[in-house]
Amino acid sequence: MERAIIHINVADFAVAVERLADGRLQDRPVIVAPEGAARATVYDMSEEAYRSGVRKGMPLSRARRLCRDVRILPPHPARYEQAMADLLRQALPFSPLIEPGEDDGHLFVDVSGTHRIFGPPVDVAWRMRRQTRKTLGLDPIWSLATNKLVAKVASRLVKPLGEYIVAPGDEAALLAPLPLWMIPGIEAHDVRRLQEFNLTRVDQVTALSRAHLRAGFGDRADFLVRTLEGIDTTPVQPVSRQPPRVVLDHTFGTDTHVPDRVEGGLYALVERAGRHLRRQGRAARRVAVFVDYSDGRRCIRQAGIRPPTANELALFPFARRALHAAWHRRVRIRHLRLVCDRLVYPPAQMPLFEDERRLAARRESIVAVMDKIRDRFGEPAVRLAR
């Protein structure tokens, strides 16, 4: 059966989401970047800023010089994650095989063999775009091809707005005149190596024999030929149901690097997480801490928990260990996220040693009393001093 892969791409995704939140940003140059950071770089930019020469990863100081009248906004990762979840929800009725990107507005949807239910793949793509515009206010690019590689390239060709249908058998012809850097999977060192032989376009490389390419690239020559001919057999991964977990966020009013403030913010998250876990009758076997710095960079570290626990007094040392593993830069912290996953029923076996049993009993007693007070008088009624 011939495959039919739709690639949905909301161009300049972060900017598009910010424009939904503030309509005054329409039709004016916008850059998403942490403005207050000393080494801030461009996280995303609008088409207007792109035409002025602004690129992702460019130092913000240089971007300002290139685009004098630009509006600079701080990144909002949680906002982009929610928009990505909404985009995924729009595609779910059409196929179980949906592979989303990393909060970047990209979706691969495999609609192979669904024509009897939804009609031709082209109609499915049109319906998905119309629904996304109507319900979310986002206007995505879409492309249709027989594999993910060609579909992604096709959507790049019509950016920032449009659609592209690649007929079966036309994959190699589509790629032939393109520059090598436009092809997914072709890495920077491949491009530099090919430029040494004065090869800059796809058709220049595919005109060579495999023997010639093997002389310069060895075993990688076969991969280069397959990729540049538009051959891609990788499947679209199914949307897997996320395992249960507890996710909590804390944004500091003012970016900080004071240890007491950062750990205090983390403890507040751990306290809430413990209460969520106890309400579910679960215990966490792993904790992860996401640290978002002022310059837009994110670092994630995790720690295993043994034995599993839902008690914040026992959970906090593991969370603090993950925090300090992720906190390795001399840059202020803007946002923390705590994730407790690998949830299990609380372990029934008691600690073996008397001191451990006494400590565990004391912790459980303290938390149980605090839960009763909060149930009666509300969450802020009692807190632990730090």
Kindly state whether residues 254 and 170 are assigned to the same domain: no
Kindly state whether residues 210 and 287 are assigned to the same domain: no
Neighbours of 26 (CB within 10 A): 10
Kindly state whether residues 147 and 267 are assigned to the same domain: no
Kindly state whether residues 94 and 65 are assigned to the same domain: no
Kindly state whether residues 331 and 294 are assigned to the same domain: yes
Which tokens sit at 214?
């093997």
* 241 domain-assigned: no
139: domain CATH number? 3.30.70.270
Residues 303/322, Cβ–Cβ less than 8 Å: yes
Kindly state whether residues 149 and 175 are assigned to the same domain: yes
- 77, 104, 126 — which closes off a domain? 77
pLDDT at 288: 94
For the chain, which residues score pLDDT lower than 70?
Answer: 36-38, 102, 188, 240-243, 345-357, 360-361, 386
Kindly state whether residues 177 and 302 are assigned to the same domain: no
Q: What is the mean pLDDT of the chain?
A: 87
- 228, 259, 274 — which closes off a domain? 228
* 73 domain-assigned: yes
* 256 domain-assigned: yes
Q: 80: which residues sit within 8 A by CB, 6+ positions away?
A: 13, 14, 17, 103
pLDDT at 78: 82
* 236 domain-assigned: no
Rounded CA gap, 318 and 288, in Å?
9
Q: What are phi and psi of 170, to 5 degrees?
A: -95, 10
Q: Write down the H helix ranges in 158-294.
A: 171-175, 188-195, 202-206, 210-217, 220-228, 259-280
Pairing of strands 30-32, 44-45: antiparallel
Domain count, the chain: 3
pLDDT at 37: 64
276: domain CATH number? 3.30.1490.100
pLDDT at 297: 84
Please spell the DSSP secondary structure of 299-335, one letter per residue: EEEEEEEEEEE--HHHHHHHHHHHHHHH--SSS-EEE
pLDDT at 102: 64
Amino acid at 300: I
| CA-angle at 85, arms to 7 and 153, nearest 5° | 15
58: domain CATH number? 3.40.1170.60
- 77, 94, 124 — which closes off a domain? 77
Kindly state whether residues 69 and 120 are assigned to the same domain: no
Task: Give the H/E segment covering residue 51.
Answer: helix 47-51
* 237 domain-assigned: no
| CA-angle at 191, arms to 188 and 195, nearest 5° | 140
| CA-angle at 210, arms to 207 and 213, nearest 5° | 85
Give the structural domain span for 355. Answer: 246-381
Cis peptide before 347 (omega within 30 of 0): no
* β-sheet bridge partners, residue 164: 143
pLDDT at 349: 47
Kindly state whether residues 263 and 375 are assigned to the same domain: yes
Kindly state whether residues 199 and 222 are assigned to the same domain: yes
Kindly state whether residues 216 and 297 are assigned to the same domain: no
**Alpha carbon 134 to its chain's center:** 24
- Cα-only R_g, the chain: 26
* 235 domain-assigned: no
Which tokens sit at 262?
């950062």
Nearest CA among 292, 273, 295, 280 for reference residue 345: 280
* 48 domain-assigned: yes
Kindly state whether residues 109 and 72 are assigned to the same domain: no
* 175 domain-assigned: yes
